[in-house]
A and B are shown apart, each in its own frame.
Chain A
């Protein structure tokens, strides 16, 4: 059963990749093990995100959009956010530029 690998680009995923690369370079891990660890990461990251209750809403200006291989990529400008957590706490934020990469949430991933 495969899981989306896009979360490998997140901070947690990139730090894991860096750590694994370092250890493969020094020879403490084989590339095969590193691949297995990353696959495990995909599985547990997807699982952890499934159970989240936090809601986010955002508005902005769309600079570019792309839909290729069933993946949406948006580049946004002047974005404002509202985050509301399960405990009822809210936050607001805004950024100049934002990139969104989104895979199909309804796809069934097989081996």
Chain B
């Protein structure tokens, strides 16, 4: 359930595994990319899990902070989130778009669309009851990320 180490592993693999021998390329750029990427992941706040947010958040930040620069990241994160909130409300107030257009994808609570990206093994329907079996998925729920190996869903249409 701990997302941070898996993300770190993927980041490391991508940066180290990329073979750029055929391109003119500096290693410094690669390192900068890694830092930039980690910084953005931290800022997105998606590393928080469900349990005591204060403890895990500071623990996960410690993991990432050892790679990224300093307290300036946290300040940036707060500024970024504040700005995003302001921009979002402006868009809603001044929007002329039709409400019926697929409805709003945004929750009242969260700033992000709750989303599952996965692979389906089986999707079945019996009258109005749907069942699906998913695998290898990433779920973003109210700005938190959860990864799963298998998922089962039942819905009523």
Contact = CB atoms under 8 A, between A and B. Distances in A.
Contacts of B115: 9, 98-101
Interface residues of A, number: 68
Nearest to B41: A15
B37 to A, nearest CB: 5
A54 B134 CA distance: 12
A46 B118 CA distance: 10
A75 B116 CA distance: 10
Contacts of A25: none
B71 to A, nearest CB: 20
- Residue of A46, A93, A105 ringed by the most chain B CB atoms within 10 A: A105
A18 B50 CA distance: 27
B156 A62 contact: yes
A13 to B, nearest CB: 9
Interface in A63-111: 65, 67, 72, 74-76, 79, 81, 83, 85, 87, 89, 91, 93, 95-106
Interface in B8-55: 9-11, 13-14, 17-18, 20, 23, 25, 29, 32-33, 36-37, 40-41, 44, 46, 50-51
Given A37-B18, A54-B1, A12 B23 contact: no
A40 B18 contact: yes
Contact of A11 (B46, B134, B153): B46
A44 B33 contact: no
Nearest to B25: A33
B47 to A, nearest CB: 9
B123 interface: yes
B50 A93 contact: yes
21 contacts: A12-B138, A12-B145, A15-B40, A18-B40, A23-B32, A28-B29, A33-B25, A54-B149, A56-B139, A56-B148, A60-B156, A61-B155, A74-B155, A75-B102, A83-B146, A96-B107, A97-B114, A99-B116, A100-B116, A100-B134, A106-B121
Given A37-B14, A51-B149, A61-B156, 15 more contacts: A11-B41, A11-B44, A22-B36, A28-B29, A40-B18, A49-B147, A50-B149, A56-B148, A65-B130, A74-B132, A85-B1, A91-B1, A97-B114, A98-B114, A102-B134
